Structure 1
Amino acid sequence: MALNTAFRTLAGAVMGGAIAFFGNSSAVTAAQDSVALYGVGVPYIVRADYGGAVNDRLRDIRSLRTTKRPIKIQGSVCFSSCTMLLGLERTCVNPNTVFGFHGPSRRGVPLERATFDHASRLIAAHYPGVLKTWYLSVARHSLSELLLLKGSDLIQLGVSKPCDAGAGYANVRRRADPRDQEPT
């Protein structure tokens, strides 16, 4: 299936506003906590991850890169900053997981042009080739809706490999659905 066709057929709106990309969370991430507990060979499982601040995700990614643990994105959704995990080596995806992409914003508010371009390049740097190209030309410009792809499309496009079916869940990663949070 051609790249444009795959992306076009699965793109759609699922949320009224973009999830905020930048934050200042001081919480220690699950990835950092798990280094000593699980070591290199134990998979890091991602389930129902609705995203979050890019800065927080970058800390997760640095930690996961250090541990060299395999990443298994096997939950129902991987939205927003969760999709940055696709650029890590040893990452696999469930064919049925839905991935949601959008451009950088501050809680749905557009960024200044220079900040927008910088944040877009930062995010895209964590995507494999064809996904990086699509993100920079299409998805980063979507601020009010998520553009959706299924894991099977990412596998077909060569962006990721499929996870083996019966894998155990040693460390489950779940991030809160932002729609369940109180407004600030």
Structure 2
Amino acid sequence: MTLPGRQAAAAAITLAIAALWAPAAPAQAPLVVGNDSGGYLHQRLIELKQLRRSAVRVEIRGRICYSTCTLFLGLPGTCVAPGTVFGFHGPSRRGVRLKDKDFEYFSRLMARHYPEPLRAWFLHTGRNRISGVYKIKGSELIRMGIAACRGG
């Protein structure tokens, strides 16, 4: 059923006014990353894709963020706490360095998830450690241009 011109205009104005008074959709709460020692690359890439799609902001506030946890740094709006320690290492299979071709491929895949200049550092230095991790404090990442979390 269509309304005559004046009724349609009145209905449209009423809907517009109601929309102004409707409560705004609540902002989506950020994902707060606590202590995360990493995990499997494939699983983390799936998680990153979902977070990117849903536009959830990530706040890294834990004591540590090692291995694949560091890939959160490439998501838009991610912030870090200055005291969090980040641990970087190159791709491996259960602590064993990959064959050169695979090592290069997975290193570059990981690096795509880091903002510059962290990406360049990872490709030059960070990926070369397989046993253990290079530790970098959040305060250093903030100096590299990654956002600091408010209140932390």
TM-score tier (shorter): 0.7 to 0.9
* Residue 143 in structure 1 maps to residue 130 in structure 2: yes
Q: Aligned residue for 1:29?
A: none
Please say which structure displays the higher CA radius of gyration.
Answer: 2
User: Which aligned runs of 4 or more in structure 1 are off by greater than 6 angstroms?
Assistant: none
Q: Counterpart in 2 of 1:108? A: 95
Q: Secondary structure at the match of 1:51?
A: coil
User: Quick one: distance in 2 between partners of 1:53 and 1:89?
Assistant: 22
- The answer to whether the aligner puts 1:64 opposite 2:51 as a matched pair is yes
More helix by share: 2
Query: Which structure 1 residue ranges, 5 or more long, are not aligned?
Result: 1-38, 167-184
What TM-score results when the alignment is normalised by the length of structure 1? 0.67
| RMSD, aligned α-carbons | 1.2
TM-score relative to the length of structure 2: 0.81
1:150-183 CA deviation, whole Å, 9 max, x = no partner?
A: 000000111x1111117xxxxxxxxxxxxxxxxx
Q: Percent identity?
A: 45
Amino acid of the residue matched to residue 30 of structure 2?
A: P
Where in structure 2 are there 5+ consecutive unaligned residues? Answer: 1-25
How many residues matched? 127
Structure 2 matches for 1:73-152, cutoff 5 A? 73-152=60-139
Correspondence 1:53 to 2:43: no
One-letter amino acid of the structure 1 residue matched with residue 92 of structure 2: S
- Greater relative CO, 1 or 2 (CA 8 Å, sep 6+): 1
